Structure 1
Amino acid sequence: RSTMACAEARLSRFNKLGDPAKLREKRIAMCVKLRKDQKNEHIMKRRTITLSSLSDKEISCTSLEDIVRDVNSDSIPSQIRGCQAARKLLSERDSSINEIINAGLLSCFVAFLSMDDEPTLQFEAVWVLTNITSGTSWHTKRVMDHGAVPAFISLLSSPMLHISEQAVWAVSNIAGDGPMYRDVLIACNAIPALLACISPDTPLDFLHNLAWTLSNLCRSKNPYLPGSVVQQMLPSLIMFLHLSDKNILSQVCWAFCYLSDGENNRIEVVLRTGIIPRLMELLNHEDTYVVIDAGCLEVLPKLLRHSKSSVQKEAAWALSNIAAGPSKQIQQLINCGLFAPLVELLRSGYFKSQREAVWVVKNITIRGTMDQMIFVIRIGALEAIIRLLQVPDAKVVMVILDTINNLVMAAEKSGETEGVCRLIKELGGFAHIEMLQNHENVVLRKAASYLLDKCTEVTTQTESTDQRR
């Protein structure tokens, strides 16, 4: 058998992780679940805010019949009372959305949106409609069919801040429901109206809602967001990226993740904004989970494959810092499919980028679980770093020797020493390490001799046992 065939057989014998194709399917499913969880979290926040924002003065328990009567009344106080009772009902259970729609109240709520002389009624009506648009796509469509979109967009410029902010919530719900509804918003000039809400005086909570809305606008594809609209939004997204609020950073990172999805020309638009230094700064922030949970890692595979060596290097450097964190962070790197482009970089990237990529692998051998290390081996990282033992940079070679030694020590703890050492040998590791025993660097020579002796002892003992059998 060929050397690589032996290596593959070795991997299949000691690997406990299972079939690679099934593992890939599992990782994809995990990523999908993470996205769904993120979307569901937004909905829960909306509901929580709705419930916690109710007046301390209890709205009396009102039947649907009472709500219909009050909303259709000619009395403003009664209409307000009806809207309040409706939004309380909507806050308590999802099934009430259908009840409100079937009662024929949507046209009344939409009509109330234009009553600028009655801001309380206006606010209650937009709140009710916001909760309805938080339901299914059909619920959102029913609101739109009653002409609510132009009214929502008009309310974005309301002098009453709480009304404007509630209108942003409604627009965001619609934007997150798919490209068709998103394009309706764009056609109604929602983008300029939303961007006009952003100013140095805008409260932080309001900015968070605006960032979430812009992210929802970027989310949908088939078709993607038009390039002209992206250009309109980029200055505000870049501004948001330089704020320190965790919620805003999370939303804007998702936005850039969506914008960079698809063809290379889309990620080029993002790269030309000059956000990479800030993105890398965030990825190396003490609060790394903020950016990881935001989906920022999904941008990085394309950065690792970028034609510019400086971009490759920065991306690999950021990943090495994330890999230096707990095993949970390392698992995020695996789940997001970052190791395939990382191995490509180790095999054929620019040397400065490869140097940073080597640190990613080393950090995993320090902080990762044995299963995570086996995954990294199986995807080709061990073979790639063994080939780099030939580079003239003594520091890089030393890092690789440390990495291989870490793998062997981890294997000792899990009873996989023989499998790992034989794999190192079959991948050409012994030959390269043996040559390093003649290196001019004394420390490197000693490290190579120590590692070779350790691995050789294990494989020799095993071979002797096999021969006696």
Structure 2
Amino acid sequence: MLSDRLKNFHRGIDSAKSAKSRQEASVRLARSKRAEMMNKRRAAISETPAAAVVPECTELPTELSLAHLSIYVQAMQGSNVDVMVAATASVRRLLSKDNKPPVDEVLAGGAGPVLVRLLGHPDQRVVFEAAWCITNIASTEHTSKVVELGAIPALVALLRSPHANVREQVIWCLGNVVGDGPTYRDMLLDTPDCVAALTLNIQAPANVSLLRNATWAMSNFCRGKPKPDPAKLGSVLGVLVGLLRSSDKDVLADALWGLSYLTDGSITFSGQLIGMEGALSCLVDSLRHERSGVVIPALRTIGNIVSGDDDQTEALIDAGCLGPMAKLVSSDKRNIRREACWAASNIAAGTKDQIGRLVHTPSMMANVQEQARVDEWFVRREAAWVISNVANSGKPIDVAAMVEGGVFESIVALLNSKEPKTCRLMLDALGDIFSKGSVLGRLEGWLLRFEEADGLEAVDDLQSHENSDVYEASTRLAEAYLAEDDEDDEAEVANPFGETAMVPAPTATHQTFGAAPAFGQATTAFNTAPAGTPGKPAAAAANPFGAASGAGFGGAAFGAAPAAAPVASAPAGAFSFAGATFQ
């Protein structure tokens, strides 16, 4: 009985055997689950329709059409390199259409991310076509899409590509991105190696076409307000100054535009430029260039510098800018005449000695007074500021030289325009002139000259001007200097001014009457730059990518790539820059 009880007694569990049993069960269960999963996967694969598998595209449609975009995008992701090149080129050709390229459609079709991936492809033909497509996207209002797609790091890396055509295309693309505005400009300035790699392409260009595009892109880094951080620009200013020695007119023009952007309203950049050896002599030499596209940015840069402090103005005068500037005042190009008069007006707002050097530069004032009298209005009002500043700030002897040169005829012509702000400017100038004539004891003779120039009638007409400022200023001038004595009238004395004592008019301040060219309210006698910076001129045919037009951020700073891009050969000439040869 006891044996039966012992037989039926519940014994304790053997832990070792139990653990081994659990392990074996787990292994069996895991194997079972893996087998089940594999069976399901095999079943899923066997049930997948054949159409869901992306086939290898080996042939493209013969006709270029946006309707084939999905085929192009599919082929761009294939393994056949030749087909990839052809497909990417087809997208590029779609984006190169002159009239509203289908950028939205191409991006909506999924081409954007594919193009960015292709920038890292080992075949340079694929990279070149992809970069070209992205360049054309950046040439439109879709510049932000290039940034959003994450293309910038790959593009910057390609600035050091061993293939010149790839580097050139990338430079063009980045130039368009920079030209979009200060935000992307500063972003690229903060991108490691961007400026350094671009500089390397300028210092050792593979061909003149690449040099032109790189110079244009570099000038875009100087655009915009607020101005770029000088610390981030690094060697940009020095690079642009070095390019002033280039014999290529397109390179020279873009380098000068870059300098004009940097010196606009910046004494800091102007001072740095003046301190660079040979910079001012190259700048002055550019005034003698045969191409207006070079002369205009040179004049703009000089005008910016002389609107700074007196020392900077003195440095430019010492460099010999006045002689060529005097000739440019009478240029057959109206934009050059305007820029030259504007620059001269800022010199005329300098020290008395500087004004004297301006006035006594051969033909300077004669040409200025001629333009004030007969030129197109937007040139005449710049010339008016030269006359006004000399009259206001010049020595009496320099004002006398201007009178002897026939300035009254020019002033009367400007008064007869009836334009309110110009009339106020000239009425003030007359007050300054007559006041200094009184100091010299020449007032009577000058008044006679003014009468012979029909000045009395002009001032008399302005006393009925609808503008109250013009009316009041002309009345004050007439009462102070032009009123006839009643006794002389009765005696019919030849001198209309008789023995009337002349009361010197108070010295006019240009702050009251505004700064040209808009003649708005201003705080200095400096004349602001004429509105509307001329855009970047079209590049010569030698540039395989054409030329992007650069008008500043207010205008088009972009260049769309053409449909074909043969790489230009190196130019015959070469020039030296920082130990490197430009060719």
TM norm structure 1: 0.69
Query: In the alignment, residue 212 of structure 2 is paired with which amino acid?
Result: H
Matches within 5 A, 1:79-228: 79-92=84-97, 93-116=99-122, 118-136=123-141, 139-186=142-189, 187-199=191-203, 202-222=206-226, 224-228=227-231
What is the CA distance between 1:128 and its match in structure 2?
Answer: 0.9
SS of 2:228's equivalent in the other structure is coil
Partner of 1:270: 273
Partner of 2:233: 230
Alpha-carbon spacing, 1:209–1:460, altered in 2? closer, same or farther (3 Å): closer
Once residues 129 and 169 of structure 2 are traced to their aligned partners in structure 1, the CA distance between those partners, rounded to angstroms, is 9
Query: In the alignment, residue 74 of structure 1 is paired with which amino acid?
Result: S
Root-mean-square deviation over aligned CA pairs: 4.1
Partner of 1:381: 387
Give the aligned length: 387
Alpha-carbon spacing, 1:432–1:152, altered in 2? closer, same or farther (3 Å): same
Alpha-carbon spacing, 1:409–1:189, altered in 2? closer, same or farther (3 Å): same
For 1:397-420, what per-residue CA distance to the aligned partner results, in whole angstroms no more than 9, with x for missing partners? 5465114266389789999xxxx9
Query: In the alignment, residue 106 of structure 1 is paired with which amino acid?
Result: G
What is the CA distance between 1:79 and its match in structure 2?
Answer: 1.4
Query: In the alignment, residue 128 of structure 1 is paired with which amino acid?
Result: C
Alpha-carbon spacing, 1:145–1:452, altered in 2? closer, same or farther (3 Å): closer
CA contact 1:87–1:128 (8 Å) conserved in 2: yes
CA contact 2:94–2:102 (8 Å) conserved in 1: yes
CA contact 1:317–1:356 (8 Å) conserved in 2: no
Once residues 220 and 272 of structure 1 are traced to their aligned partners in structure 2, the CA distance between those partners, rounded to angstroms, is 24
CA contact 1:343–1:384 (8 Å) conserved in 2: yes
Once residues 253 and 425 of structure 1 are traced to their aligned partners in structure 2, the CA distance between those partners, rounded to angstroms, is 38
TM norm structure 2: 0.57
Alpha-carbon spacing, 1:327–1:455, altered in 2? closer, same or farther (3 Å): farther
SS of 1:344's equivalent in the other structure is coil
Alpha-carbon spacing, 1:330–1:253, altered in 2? closer, same or farther (3 Å): closer
Query: In the alignment, residue 210 of structure 2 is paired with which amino acid?
Result: F
Query: Which structure 2 residue ranges, 5 or more long, are not aligned?
Result: 1-60, 419-424, 461-482, 491-583
CA contact 2:329–2:338 (8 Å) conserved in 1: no
Structure 2 residue 283 is matched with structure 1 residue 279: yes
CA contact 1:176–1:217 (8 Å) conserved in 2: yes
Once residues 305 and 383 of structure 1 are traced to their aligned partners in structure 2, the CA distance between those partners, rounded to angstroms, is 16
SS of 1:207's equivalent in the other structure is helix
Partner of 2:326: 320
For 1:20-63, what per-residue CA distance to the aligned partner results, in whole angstroms no more than 9, with x for missing partners? xxxxxxxxxxxxxxxxxxxxxxxxxxxxxxxxxxxxxx974232
SS of 2:310's equivalent in the other structure is coil
Once residues 414 and 229 of structure 2 are traced to their aligned partners in structure 1, the CA distance between those partners, rounded to angstroms, is 52
Once residues 411 and 105 of structure 1 are traced to their aligned partners in structure 2, the CA distance between those partners, rounded to angstroms, is 60
Structure index of larger Rg: 2
For 1:358-411, what per-residue CA distance to the aligned partner results, in whole angstroms no more than 9, with x for missing partners? 6544312234543568636864725734875733x8xx9546511426638978
CA contact 2:338–2:378 (8 Å) conserved in 1: no
Alpha-carbon spacing, 1:315–1:281, altered in 2? closer, same or farther (3 Å): same
Among 355, 358, 371, the alignment partner of 1:356 is 358
Alpha-carbon spacing, 1:59–1:158, altered in 2? closer, same or farther (3 Å): farther
Once residues 262 and 323 of structure 2 are traced to their aligned partners in structure 1, the CA distance between those partners, rounded to angstroms, is 23
Once residues 246 and 379 of structure 1 are traced to their aligned partners in structure 2, the CA distance between those partners, rounded to angstroms, is 31
Matches within 5 A, 1:37-56: none
Query: In the alignment, residue 240 of structure 1 is paired with which amino acid?
Result: L
Once residues 228 and 421 of structure 1 are traced to their aligned partners in structure 2, the CA distance between those partners, rounded to angstroms, is 44
Q: Which structure is higher in helix share? A: 1
Query: Which structure 1 residue ranges, 5 or more long, are not aligned?
Result: 1-57, 439-447
Among 68, 72, 76, the alignment partner of 2:73 is 68
Once residues 78 and 421 of structure 1 are traced to their aligned partners in structure 2, the CA distance between those partners, rounded to angstroms, is 72
Once residues 294 and 230 of structure 2 are traced to their aligned partners in structure 1, the CA distance between those partners, rounded to angstroms, is 28
Using the TM superposition, name which of 156-165 and 370-379 deviates more.
370-379
Once residues 157 and 209 of structure 1 are traced to their aligned partners in structure 2, the CA distance between those partners, rounded to angstroms, is 15
